[in-house]
Structure 1
Amino acid sequence: MENTFKALLIREENGQFLKQVQQVSLSSLPDHDTLIRVTYSSLNYKDALSATGNKGVTRTFPHVPGIDAVGVVEESSGKLWKKGDQVLVTGFDLGMNTWGGYGQYIRVPGEWIVALPPNLQPQEAMALGTAGFTAGLCVDKLVQAGIKPSDGPIAVSGATGGVGSISLQLLSKLGYQTVGISGKKNTDLQQQLNGTEWLDRQEFTDESKRALLKPRFAGAIDTVGGSVLTTLVRSLQYNGVVAACGMAQSGDLNLTVFPFILNGVSLLGVDSVQASMPVRQRVWNLLANEWKPEQLVSFTKQLTLEELPEQIDQMLAGQTEGRTLVKLW
């Protein structure tokens, strides 16, 4: 094993954040117990924020983003893993303040690591990544809350993004009727998800002060927040459930208590960063087996590290859809 490896390094220079693929030293990695040779990563919105110097995501630079990684254990001084184990890492501090998956190696605590499920190829694991894991957590919230396919349609906001598009695939596979809410129209992804009804986000959003709206959905998965989430909560059927996991539009929530005390609505928060290991293992096993999306690969674009900076800029400009896989070797 060489002493250097290739990585997308983000440097701060005169107030500007520069993205450059270069060789970095293994000694630059943090002093954790397990070294992983990364084969694939993926692109998430949080990665794009980190790559542009967002201090709410990453505090110190130079930095290597990438909140997802799959690969093979190279060495470990801990008791959980051994050389040759196929593993994946999502969440915790990876790619935030711990150098992440946009480098050919990462060094992380063994407690952050999940064994790659036998029925999941490395490319599939990163086509899912944090987005797929979050989608799985959201669907699991609805299932655990007792929402059944026969109860009515499930709405998904931000439906052409990573979490939204995978949520639609998971729900469809489980037999739910799906409604996608998006600001985009007639995209390739929307055409491929032809079993989904599509609503324009602007036309769907209700800015009125009405406490309750016409009941439309048995449940919802929200990645957007703000007025979209308030519209969803007010549009749920009796005992409806929203799993909320994002704030692409806003972190604000302007609601009365009436949907909750008159319609028995539940608003459930979903966090993929600090999810417990038993939850991680259970949801990843579901994603690898009975919940595995059949169209996952067709919604995934594969890039090299050198092609990644341009894709990051496109994501920040709202010009991407589906998932982006990053090949490290």
Structure 2
Amino acid sequence: MSLNFQPAPVDPAVLSARLEFLDGYEAQLKGSLQWNQCESAAEYRRMRREGLNGFPKPVLNPKARTTTISARDGHRIELRIISPSQQQSKGVWLHFHAGGFVIGSNASYDPYLTTLSDRLGFTMVSVEYRLAPENPFPKPLHDCVDAALYSLTPEGQEMLGAPLKILGGESAGGWLAVSTGLSLKRDHGLNVRSILDAIVTGYGIYDMTYTPSLLEHKRDIILSKQGMMDFVDAGFAHIPMTERKNPLVSPLYADLKGMPPALFLTGAIEPLVDDSVFMAARWFSAGNQTELCVVEGACHAFTIIRMGEATEDGINRIVSFVEKYIGTATRQTS
């Protein structure tokens, strides 16, 4: 058992181009409207869907299909399904979108999910979990866990066309992927290592009391220090700071034994880089297969928002990791 740390070295000229791009992108976004400057979070979400606040309108995959399932409280959860176009599905990748628990949707990142689906042969199923501040913790997590439980039923497998194999997400979705896996083990008694091939996270947050990289972060490329804290307050303000090291809130402090292989992917210019580094170290220390990849010259959301060559680098590393662990859940129980 070893912790595979991939520093992801890049050619100096390539790194220089990445850094120049980020400088320009930061300048371009300076002063852009934030969700908490709108009359409501719902209004900001509408503007993002329509491409009205500095970000392009989401590009949708016309072949995506949707279904709805019931949450534990009767709420209807929409699942957006993107199937591989050229091969039979190898399994379901249950995806939890980015957005700080406040913004985004299961239709926000179709191009990214389509790329992964076609390259890996997985059915990507993105969960429309409820958002804060209207629906703070634990409702978003409950929706994601309920979607995972549904996908493990015979009905769910038939509807989605393949068995659940991967949990994955970016930013807040990284927290949801890890927390969903932990809940399946802790709250539902499932042997997740025998069920899941992997958990794949991108630049997630795992400590709601904040890591040094967030507290010391100075830049504002997609996500700033204050922006992250505003997102956390929207979803977790009802939990006092003194109680946020509870493993249900901050999975960095959870019992991580018996978890499947995990990739913790992050950019080096990232307020949450320590979250990935610390979580990877704890995941490994708990006896789990672990890969940590820190991409130089990459910032928050670099795999889901097009940022030139750095985006391709990040996606290639996801593909490489998943290809390594496809089918490992079955082998671990044999």
- TM (norm. structure 2) is 0.30
- TM (norm. structure 1) is 0.30
The structure where strand makes up a greater share of residues is 1
The structure where helix makes up a greater share of residues is 2
> Larger C-alpha radius of gyration, 1 or 2?
1
